[in-house]
Amino acid sequence: MPDPQTAAVAPLDPALMAEIEALRATTHTTRRATVSAMEDCLHVPFPVLDHGFIRVVDYMGDDGAIVQAARVSYGRGTRQVREDRGLIRYLMRHRHTTPFEMAEIKVHVKLPIFVARQWIRHRTANVNEYSARYSVLDREFYIPAPDHLAAQSADNRQGREGVVTGEEAAEVLDILRGDALRCHVNYERMLNAEGDGHDPTRQGLARELARMNLTLNTYTQWYWKIDLHNLMHFVSLRADPHAQYEIRVYAEVLADILGWWVPLTTEAFQDYRVGGLHLSRHALAVVRKALAGEAVAQADSGLSPREWRELWAALGQASSPES
C-alpha cells in the first residue's frame, strides 16, 4: 500500500493550489478520533487520468467507530471477549454491514463527464456537482493514452478487446481532440465570454443551454460523501479488473485511501470481499460432491454453462472434474 506522504500530487491551477495549501496549513484541536495517515493526505490532490484528481476533504470515524457501534448492538460482554480486529473480521465475514455505515468520508473529485455518469449509478452517496448553469466549464478534456485505445469486444457489449494502433489510433486521437476543442470553442462563442473576440454588447446564450454542446470527455467536478460500507461496495465493483479503465483508476485511488483510513477494515475487506468467493446453493453442492470424490457434471448441477466455467475458474481449476 502506498504512503500518503510520498504519493504523487496532481498539478492544479495556482488559485486552487493556494487554497489547498492554506487548508493544509490550518490545524485544529479536537476530541474526535483521528487517523494520522488521513491527516497526512487531507486536501492532497492525488492525480487520476490526464487532468483529474481525488482529494480527501473530510472524514468521520475510524476502525474504532465500527467496533464501538457493533458493541452497542452486541452488549457489554463482547468488550472482554473480542479484540477489535477479530470483531471487525467477524462483522465482515457475516455481512453485518450497519457498523460500517458509522464512518463517513467526503472527497473532491475532478473527472470526465462520461465517468461521472457511470459513477452516479452508485446512489448511496451525497453528491454536489459543479454547476455549468452557474459557472463556465474549463477547456479541459480527457484524451486516452495510446495504450488505452482499445477496440470493441466481439463478445462483450460493454467491454474492450485488443488495442487500436498505428494510423487508426492517430486518427482516433485527432478526432477526440478536434471535436472536444471545436465544441468548447463554440460553447464559449455562444456564451460570448469576455475576451473571446466577439462583440461584447452581444447577449450570450444562457449557460444552461450552451453546455449541451460539450463533449462527454469534458471534465466536471463534484463533492462526494459516502459511508464506509457503501464505499467498499463501490471499490469492490469499480476497482475490479473487469471495470472500465477510466473509472477503475479512480477506484484504485479510493482503495489506497481506504487502507490509510481504516486498515483493519481494509484487511478484512480484502480477505472476505475482494479475495473471497461467495457460492450459490447449487455451486456449494457441486463443490461438496467434488470434495467427496463424486462425479459432477454441468448438465445436472443446476448451474448455467457460464456459472459452471466461472466456478472452476474461481477455484483455480483449468477444467472441471466433469464425469
pLDDT at 28: 83
DSSP states of 81-149 as a string?
H--HHHHHHHHHHTT--GGGGG-EEEEEEEEEHHHHHHHTT--SEEEEE--TTTSPPPS-B----GGG-
pLDDT at 81: 40
Contact yes or no for 169/76 (Cβ under 8 A): no
pLDDT at 182: 96
The DSSP element (H or E) to which 222 belongs, if any, is: strand 219-227
Instruction: Establish whether 238 is a catalytic residue.
Output: yes
Catalytic one of 133, 238, 288, 309: 238
Residue type for position 179: D
Encode the chain (323 residues) as per-residue pLDDT tens digits.
677 766 677 777 788 888 888 888 888 888 888 999 999 999 999 999 999 999 999 999 999 999 999 988 655 544 544 588 999 999 999 999 999 999 999 999 999 999 999 999 999 999 999 988 888 899 999 999 988 887 655 565 565 666 777 888 899 999 999 999 999 999 999 997 554 455 656 678 899 999 999 999 999 999 999 999 999 999 999 999 989 999 999 999 999 999 999 999 999 999 999 999 899 999 999 999 999 999 889 998 999 999 999 999 999 886 666 54
Distance CA 66, CA 70 (A): 6
Go through 279-299 and write b for each residue having 16 or more CB atoms within 10 A of its CB, e for each that does not: eeeebeebbeebeeeeebebe
How many CB atoms lie under 10 A from the CB of residue 258?
23
To the nearest 10 degrees (0 to 180), the angle between helices 63-74 and 84-93 is: 80
pLDDT at 263: 96
Four-CA torsion 158, 159, 165, 169, nearest 10 degrees: 20
Nearest CA among 126, 124, 100 for reference residue 234: 124
pLDDT at 165: 79
Counted residue by residue, the chain has a size of 323
> For the whole model, what pTM was predicted?
0.86
pLDDT at 195: 47
- Could you give the domains of the chain? 14-135+217-274 (3.30.1360.170), 146-213 (no CATH), 281-314 (no CATH)
